[in-house]
Every structure is written in structure tokens, then in C-alpha cells.
Amino acid sequence: MKTKVAYLRGLMDGLKLADDDNTRVLKAIADCLEAMADEIETESARTDAIEAELDEINEDIDDLDEVLGFLLEEEEDEDDEENWTGEDWEDDFDFFTCPSCGKVVPLDEETIQEQPNPLCPECGEPLFGE
């Protein structure tokens, strides 16, 4: 962009344009282009800085992802220890298969906390056994 504007300036200087309204308009346009080129250069420098920052943030996110994955694995291990039957989960829901009738029952975390041993809505048997 800058070299092109410089080229345009050189072209105008070299053409020995008459000092009329047309020339003034052309010079105004060249001034405008130069200002734009300056701004774009500043802007792209800023964009580079932002991109560098984004890279760092992405690395942080990767780290967090790893930590999160580790924590989730730990949580699943705990689930196994408590003999919870559901391994699949979506969003806030855990899915449990009723040991009595085999129906898959979705429970959110709140329900699990409020009722440590919820009953199957289908057959009324405790979901996690006695």
C-alpha cells in the first residue's frame, strides 16, 4: 500500500501537472491515500500484536483444556468407584440405566445432590441399588 502511494506521488510529481482544480483534487486524493496507508500500517501492526496475544491465549486455553480433561477423567474415576451405571453424559445431565427395568433415566446434577438415591420414575426402584 505505502509503495503504491509513493509511486502515485512520484508519478504526479513527474507529470508536471498543471496547477488547476484537477491537480488539486488529485493531490487531495493522494494525501488521503497516504493517510490511509499510514493508518493501515498502524492497524496491521496492532493486528500483529493482537494475533500474538491470541496465540498466547490459545496456548493458555490448550493448557486449561488439558487440566480440564484431567479433572474430568478424575471425576469419571470417582463415578466408577461409586458404581454409578451412567457413563454417557450430555450438558448437565447424567444418564443412568435403572437396574430393575433397564430404562435410561436422565438426572441433572442438582437432582443428584438433593436426592442421593433417586427412584426410577418407571418402576419406582432405587436407581443406584440399595
CB of 93 to Zn ion, least distance (A): 17
Q: Alpha-carbon distance 72 to 96, whole Å?
A: 18
Which of the ranges 29-37, 85-93, 98-106, 111-119 carries the binding residues for Zn ion, by CB under 5 A? 98-106
When asked if residue 122 is in the footprint of Zn ion (CB under 5 A), the reply is yes
Kindly give, in sequence order, each residue whose CB lies less than 8 Å from that of residue 34, ignoring residues fewer than 6 positions away: 5, 9
When asked if residue 96 is in the footprint of Zn ion (CB under 5 A), the reply is no
When asked if residue 25 is in the footprint of Zn ion (CB under 5 A), the reply is no
Within residues 30-69, the interface with Zn ion by CB under 5 A covers: none
CB of 97 to Zn ion, least distance (A): 9
Pick the closer one to Zn ion by CB: 108 or 122: 122
Q: Buried b / exposed e across 78-117, counting CB within 10 Å, b at 16+?
A: eeeeeeebbeebeeeebebbbeeeeeebebeeeebeeeee
When asked if residue 101 is in the footprint of Zn ion (CB under 5 A), the reply is yes
